[in-house]
Structures are given as C-alpha cells and as structure tokens.
Amino acid sequence: MPRVAPRLLKKALKAHSLLPLLLPACRSIEQSAQEFRWIRNELPNMKQVRQACLQRFKLVPLQYILGNQPFGELDIVCRPGVLIPRWETEEWVCELSERLLGSMGPLNSPFPIWDLCCGTGCVGLLLQRRLGPGCSLTAVDVTDAALGLCVENAHRNDLERPRLIATDVLTKKIVPDSRISLLTCNPPYIPKNQFAADTSPSVKRHEPQLALIGDLEFYSSLVNTWIHHTDSFVYEVGDRRQIEYVMHGIRDDPRLQLEWCVGYRLDSSGCPRVVYGYKAESSLAGALSGYGDLLYIPPGAGK
Amino acid sequence: MQGIRWLSYTRVHLIKKHKLPPRPKFTPSLESQCEEKFLHGGRGPGGQKINKCNSKVQLKHLPTGIVVECQQTRSRDQNRKIAREKLALEIERANTPGQSGTIREKALQQWHQQSKKSKERKAKGKHEQHRQERELQELEKLKQEQDIIKSMMGS
C-alpha cells in the first residue's frame, strides 16, 4: 500500500484534528470526511469518536468499530471473527430476491432455503425478509461465533430464528431432511497465492482467514454432494475459473448434464461474482433464467 | 389550511410550518424513465478481497438528462431512497418556470418572512409595554418622594 502523501495529511489536519487518522484507510480527503461524519453520527461522545479514529488508523474495518453494516433493509451486527458482508453480496442477493418475488409472488408453498457458510447470516436473512414467512432458513457454518451472530441478527431484524447446523460443510456429510428449494453460499474463495498480493491490508489483518482463503473445494462439494439435494443453487465466486469449474462439473457428469442449467452473473463493477444453476423443469427456472448469462443448457430443454 | 390576518384592511394568508405544500413525490412512472448506477470507486480486486463501506448511488432521468448522486449514508437502500427524493425535487425545479423555485420553496420563503415580521411585531409590543411599566414606576417613585418631603415639612 503506498504511503499517504504528507501534503494530504496537512490538508486533512486543517479540516479536523482527527481526520489524518482516517487517511490510511480511506485514501482521500472526501472519503475520510464522509467516514468521519458517519463515526460522529453513530457514536455518542467525542472520546469514543477519538478511540474509533485511532482504531481506524490501525486499519480496523469500520463495521467492526461501529458494530454493524446495513445490508438491504436489514441492519447486520458485525463482530471480529466473522466476515463483514460485502456490497457485491448485497447486490446479488437483492437482485435474486426481486427476481424470485417477481416470478413467484408471495410464497404459499414451503420454500426451504439453506445458507452454507452463513457468517453473519446476511444472505439467508435478507432472502427470508423479502420472501416472507413461507421460506424456512437453515444456516450452516463451522464457527459458533458465526452461528451466534446469525441468531442475533435474526432477532435484531424481527425475523424468525433460523435452524442452525454447526458443522464443516467439507468434511461432514449432511443429509437434509427435505428437498432444498434454494441453496446459497458465500464460501471463502481467495486462492492462497492471491491472498498476500491482492487482498487489502485491512482485510488481511482483521478479518478471519477461515472465511477468506479457499479455492475450489466448496465448489467441488457443491458439484459432488450438495447439488443432489437441491433444486437450485447460487454461489458467490471470486473469478471466472471457479465458474468454469462448476460448469464443467455439471456438463461432464452424465446425470447432472441432463437436467441442470448453469449461468454466471457479473457485479456492477464488471467482475464475475456469482455462479448459479437450476433444474430446467423446476418452478424456479422462470425466475433464474434471466438472472445472469447462461453458460450451459441441458439438451432438450426448450429455450 | 391557512389562517387569516387583517393588515390595514387587506387579507393576508398566513402559512403554517406544518402545512406547507408537499415535497415532490417520486412516482413509479418516473422509475421506468431512470437509469440507476452503483459506484464503488475504482476498479481492481473486489469481493472478499476488499471491504468498502461507501456505496454511491447515481440516478439519471433519461428524458431530461438530470443526474443526481447520493452517498450520504452507509446503507445502499437508504441512499437509493434519498437519491429518488433528490431527483423528484430536481425534476420539479426544472419544470417550474422562472428563478423563484418550486411552490414549496416559495411557501417556505414566505413562511420565513412572515415569522420574521411577527417576531418584529412582538418585539415592538414588548418594547412598548416595558416603556409604560418604567414610566409608571418613575411616577410612583416621585409620589413617594413627595410624600416623604410632605411628612418632613409637616413635622
């Protein structure tokens, strides 16, 4: 990370004595002023504001300092040890829920959603809020901190408490008691060799590596086991390679290739962000077919 | 909706702060004429690799080409709402002829003038009252002094 120019520090000091502390994290005066305003609005007294700025100087994420992050219309509690929801995730979840609502209307049949690697629970909880009480959420995560936070977030946003499963998706085999309608997951997807180079210092130092470093293992568990229990899936990805891995996994499987459509979706800054799939004859096909660009359509599925 | 005050035989309508003309509303039909963009500053790595807390919403009204931006809050949802309010206001401003602003802005201006005038009037009234009180006190003092002098003369 390049150093902050002394000229900029001086300029920030003129605006407010605490503003230079925010510069390493924000990089520009406007951004720092904006963050400073948020900190001042949310914290009751100047002593705490000062403390927050000092922490921010050490690149602690703002969400850990203030303790929350808006996600759609939800207010998600954030604590060290659990990944902070990203705007990219918010974007694809919002779009997904709008599409599902648009094609199905309010739910009347049961709609089981499973959220793997739930973290704060943001993905599942926002879907639950938007789709209404018809959907039942099951949240799966390895760490108890994440599951605890997920329950807290459900409570804070007046949502029904999700069913919790504390397990490692990769090593333990879970067999769901009923068929899953929608499987969502935001797995760790930064390859180890990119973690040192590309990841921002704030994320590297303060967010849990368990929720960040990973490559194809979650996608392979999707293709090998989870896909047999669900009608559709939406997985967040970091790069095109992971999308292709899932697509090839389905296209090259003699059974899956007959019924699954696979597509991907870009985020608003143009990076590949989501790989999704659905059974061509399932009721979700109408909602998901326009969600992104389709990569694979099974033979015989009329398009 | 409005009270009436008589000022040298001309009727003047009073404007109340809580009964101003409404803010322009963002209608669903406007929604279809708009293009929405989310700006998160710069390219480069995204997703889990970086944690940005700002989310700027840019809203463009295609028929008129008016563009508004909002990044006031940390919530994208909130920013979207604020941007829509801003855009509705801008469109209203563009639609009203002249420099004087929208109906609501005019009313607000009038309200300010009116409250200024009423404050002036109140201040004047107070001034008058105080003067009278002061005169009365002085008269009383004089009386008392005269009484004292009388009693001294008498003794």
**What would the DSSP string read from start to end of A112-161?**
EEEEES-TT-HHHHHHHHHH-TTEEEEEEES-HHHHHHHHHHHHHTT-PP
A75 phi, psi to nearest 5 deg: -115, 110
Delimit the domains of chain A by residue range. 6-58, 71-296
A200 Cβ under 8 Å from any chain B Cβ: yes
> What residues of A are in contact with residue B54 (Cβ under 8 Å)?
31, 34-35
User: How large is the average pLDDT for residues A103-120?
Assistant: 87
**Exposed/middle/buried for A196, CB within 10 Å: 0-12, 13-18, 19+?**
exposed
Count A/B contacts: CB-CB distance under 8 Å.
83
pLDDT at A176 over 60: yes
Rg (C-alpha) for chain A, rounded Å, is 21
A193 Cβ under 8 Å from any chain B Cβ: no
pLDDT at A25 over 60: yes
Among candidates A35, A70, A200 on the partner chain, residue whose Cβ is nearest the Cβ of B50? A200
User: How large is the average pLDDT for residues B35-61?
Assistant: 85
Q: Measured between alpha carbons, how far is A127 from A115 in angstroms, rounded to an integer?
A: 10
The more confident residue out of A104 and A142 is A142
pLDDT at B7 over 70: no
Instruction: Check CB contact under 8 Å for B51 and A61.
Output: yes
With residue A275 as reference, give the H or E element that holds it: strand A272-279
> How is residue B26 annotated by DSSP?
-
CATH homologous superfamily, domain A71-296: Vaccinia Virus protein VP39 (3.40.50.150)
The tokens describing A170, both together, are 């990769």
A203 Cβ under 8 Å from any chain B Cβ: yes
Delimit the domains of chain B by residue range. 21-105
> What residues of B are in contact with residue A83 (Cβ under 8 Å)?
48
- Looking at residue B2, its pLDDT comes to 56
DSSP A157-190: TT-PPPEEEES-TTTS----SS-BSEEEE----B
pLDDT at A144 over 50: yes
pLDDT at B109 over 90: no
Nearest Cα of chain B lies from the Cα of A12 at a distance, in angstroms, of 19
Q: Measured between alpha carbons, how far is B117 from B114 in angstroms, rounded to an integer?
A: 5
CA atoms within 13 A on the CB side of A249: 24
Torsion sign across C-alpha atoms A45, A155, A149, A70: negative
Chain B residues contacting A via beta carbons under 8 Å: 37-38, 40-41, 43, 45-55, 71, 73-78
| Whether the predicted interface score ipTM is above 0.85 | yes
Nearest Cα of chain A lies from the Cα of B14 at a distance, in angstroms, of 36
Instruction: Check CB contact under 8 Å for B76 and A199.
Output: no
Instruction: Check CB contact under 8 Å for B49 and A198.
Output: yes
**Exposed/middle/buried for B10, CB within 10 Å: 0-12, 13-18, 19+?**
exposed
Of A89-98, A283-292, B39-48, give the lowest mean pLDDT range. B39-48
User: At which residue do the structure tokens 């803010």 appear?
Assistant: B23
Instruction: Check CB contact under 8 Å for B48 and A203.
Output: yes
Nearest Cα of chain A lies from the Cα of B24 at a distance, in angstroms, of 24
Whole-number average pLDDT of chain A? 93
**Exposed/middle/buried for A185, CB within 10 Å: 0-12, 13-18, 19+?**
buried
Closest CA to A274 of A148, A116, A89: A89
pLDDT at A122 over 90: yes
pLDDT at B150 over 80: yes
User: How large is the average pLDDT for residues A208-213?
Assistant: 95
pLDDT at A1 over 70: yes
DSSP B58-114: EEEETTTTEEEEE--SS-HHHHHHHHHHHHHHHHHHHHS-SSS--HHHHHHHHHHHH
A48 pLDDT band, cuts 50/70/90, is very high
> What residues of B are in contact with residue A185 (Cβ under 8 Å)?
none
CATH class of B21-105: alpha beta
- Looking at residue A29, its pLDDT comes to 92
Looking at chain A from residue 213 to 232, which residues have their Cβ under 8 Å from any Cβ of chain B?
none
Instruction: Check CB contact under 8 Å for B50 and A207.
Output: no
Q: Measured between alpha carbons, how far is A62 from A55 in angstroms, rounded to an integer?
A: 9
The more confident residue out of A262 and B117 is A262
> What residues of A are in contact with residue B50 (Cβ under 8 Å)?
199-200, 203
User: How large is the average pLDDT for residues A219-234?
Assistant: 95
> What residues of A are in contact with residue B46 (Cβ under 8 Å)?
86, 88, 267, 269, 271, 273
Among candidates B53, B55, B77 on the partner chain, residue whose Cβ is nearest the Cβ of A73? B77
Q: Mind listing the pLDDT tens digit for each residue in B72-106?
A: 999 999 999 999 999 998 888 888 877 777 888 88
Nearest Cα of chain A lies from the Cα of B44 at a distance, in angstroms, of 9
Of A161-170, B44-53, B116-125, give the lowest mean pLDDT range. B44-53
Q: Measured between alpha carbons, how far is A256 from A228 in angstroms, rounded to an integer?
A: 9
- Looking at residue B22, its pLDDT comes to 84
| CA nearest to B55 within chain A | A87
pLDDT at B1 over 50: no
- Looking at residue A225, its pLDDT comes to 93
B10 pLDDT band, cuts 50/70/90, is low
Torsion sign across C-alpha atoms A155, A158, A163, A168: negative
Closest CA to A37 of A18, A55, A54, A51: A18
> What residues of A are in contact with residue B55 (Cβ under 8 Å)?
87
- Looking at residue B118, its pLDDT comes to 87
- Looking at residue A188, its pLDDT comes to 96
Closest CA to A247 of A236, A259, A260: A260
